[in-house]
A and B are shown apart, each in its own frame.
Chain A
Amino acid sequence: MRETSGRTRRTVLAGAGAAVAASIAGCSGLPFGADEATITGRQLSGVLEESPPSIPDRVPIGIDASYLDAVASELESALASVPTPFDATEVPNGAIRARLNRQSETARATLAGAGEEPTRWERAGSLRRARRETGFVVGGWAAIDDDRTIADVRAAGEAIRDDLDSFRRRWAYLGADAIEAVVVNAAIAGLVRSCIGGLNRVLSARERESATALDVAEADERLASARGELGDAVYLFDRLRGRDGVRSRRDALAAAADALVDGVAERRATTGLDEGAFTAEADREATPAERALRDLRDDIRRGDIGETRDAGAFPQAIVEAHDALATIGAVEALRARIDAGEAIDPASVEDVDTIRTRAREALVAVHADGAYPRLDRLQTHRLAAVLGYVDDELSHVDADDEIALSRLNWELRDYVRIEAVARSVGDASAAVARALERE
């Protein structure tokens, strides 16, 4: 019997790698025409002079420092229980040793850095990451030193599964008010979702003859992650229960989700977002605004809020609707700007500066003046993170390097998008708040 084999894989991969390398090199290495507008690294530094606003993620209920301190202490003890850095006597295989030692250093650094996070919610996130990294190291060492197996990890996963079931039976959409119920329960749902995903990997892990200590380490990493996510979900829920005026907001959230699913569908229809094909290829001549518009339009057509609502995931459906409304608002604003001929086609350093300044100022404004800061933050902390990321990318251009403005298409598109979404966040929050007040 004969069959065709994919025999040219190496050639194909080599070609792909070369293309990617050329693309990266192109950021600063490709020549530009004599009549093409350019910008130097020094000029970019001037554009980036004003820092992006700091809008860290937070949940609008207090997280006790003592809770986080206890988590940090537990992780420190776990890390102290393994004799890292391992030497060749403890872990003869250098590849396994290097990986465990590297992950141990990472876990310690994450743990140390968690205390520097700007909010307790972000600190909790860092601690979950540290727990995951610690789980890898402790699990890998247990496999080497104590014959821990995939089956042992799976058994521990079953125990967490029981805890998860127990939590889901007592979990309810509580809140001191409806917005609190949305924001905090959406955060809880995010943790539960991650926990389920990780546990599924742990519980379906198979025994393999070739399993090494690193396979056990990776399974333990997922187990630790699931444990941390469930622990924080339980903590947040217990905090909610202790709030003054707390009660179930399920009916209000269900009604709001219904209204918002319909409202988003209407807006999509009136904006004509359901028509036309997805954009396949970038237009090289497109302005940053046109690129941003195209991406936003494609984004809004993905996802199905109705499906989320139908699953009973009302907080998530409302958060998705908030995102959709902000995106639709941004599409409308960008479309109007383009139709009016007001979209900037960057041709100078000043144009770049204007595009970036508008993004920053729009974000600062909604963060400072928004009527619904708890809802606004669902978007603004992400927008601030993207702004910081793009700034960081541009800051890597050496002062004396000169690059064509056309090489900044993606970055300028992101700035335009940040501005457009930031300007429509307030309206999206108001629409969500109205839906929640209908109770």
Chain B
Amino acid sequence: MVPSTPTRRRTLLGAAGALATLAGCGASDGGGDRETPTEPPREPFDPESVPPHRRLRGANDGPLVWLSDETQTGTNEEPRRRRPTFLTSRDQVDRLRFADVRGVEAARTFLEETTFGSETIFLERVPVRRCYELQLCDVSWSATEVDTQFGRVLRDADVACEHDARDSTAWLVRIPEALDADRITSYSSGVGGSSCGERRRPPEREQPITADAVPAPNATAEGDDA
């Protein structure tokens, strides 16, 4: 029985491995998508606080992963929906279509390793400015709701990108419960302006200099005799 209270799973085996693998998930160099190299999340936040996931990134406006029946015509396989998708069966995985971006094979393997019946894949699309990288900071869910929180970090100065350009990202998140997609009526997502590590770090309160803005107690007080 899945409770309806949103939860966050802290002990998720394999999450660290998922983050490490993420390094290879990038955009394609063909099919109309320009090469967009990506990096792994660089902030040492607790990786076990998020479920295993894979991310695809492409330099286009369209979705990168979609179900074949999410189409406008049913034949051209042009995706029409942007709302999150829940994959609860192998049959749905078989109907998945991928844009020609780098990392698709890793994503397929990830899906193959998913145990439907006890796990659910949450598929979410999030646009991102090309000069930035997203990090998945937090996932919470209940029987009826799902929430994802992302952090955003600047990519390195030597990553070539235009300030206003946008990429698409698709996130495949493996939720370790068999959710009933029909019962999920609410989902929310947020992208913060800082990394996951900074989002979680308490404000820095260190005060190396504790002196007040006054003369030092042992001041020589030049001019005393002036």
Residues of A within 8 A of B (CB): 1-5, 7-11, 88, 91-98, 143-144, 161, 164-165, 168-174, 189-190, 192-193, 196, 199-200, 203-204, 206, 208-210, 212-214, 240-241, 246-248, 250, 311-313, 316
Contact = CB atoms under 8 A, between A and B. Distances in A.
A163 B6 CA distance: 54
A39 B123 CA distance: 55
A4 B6 CA distance: 6
A1 B225 CA distance: 71
Contacts of B159: 92-93
Given A95-B129, A172-B222, A313-B212, A9 B188 contact: yes
Interface stretch (B26-34, B50-58, B108-116, B189-197): B189-197
Given A2-B5, A5-B147, A210-B42, 13 more contacts: A3-B7, A5-B6, A7-B147, A8-B188, A94-B130, A95-B132, A168-B211, A171-B215, A174-B226, A190-B213, A209-B42, A212-B157, A241-B226
A96 B7 contact: no
Binding site secondary structure of chain B: loop
A200 B210 CA distance: 9
Q: Which residue, B162, B195, B215, has most C-beta atoms of chain A within 10 A?
A: B215
Contacts of B82: none
Contact of A5 (B3, B140, B222): B140
Contact of B216 (A5, A144, A168): A168
Given A8-B188, A10-B190, A91-B157, A313 B42 contact: no
Contact of B163 (A5, A9, A98, A313): A98
A210 B159 CA distance: 14
Contacts of A161: 208-209
B156 interface: yes
A170 B220 CA distance: 5
8 contacts: A5-B8, A7-B6, A7-B140, A92-B160, A93-B155, A94-B161, A96-B157, A168-B214
7 closest A-B pairs by CB = A95-B131, A193-B213, A5-B140, A94-B163, A2-B7, A172-B221, A204-B206
B158 interface: yes
B154 interface: yes
Interface string B6-38: 111111000000000000000000000000000
Nearest to A250: B221
B116 to A, nearest CB: 22
A189 B154 contact: no
Given A92-B157, A95-B129, A212-B157, A199 B221 contact: no
Contacts of A165: 216
A155 B165 CA distance: 37
A10 B192 CA distance: 11
B207 interface: yes
B10 A1 contact: yes
A3 B8 CA distance: 6
Nearest to B10: A1
Nearest to A195: B213
B167 to A, nearest CB: 13
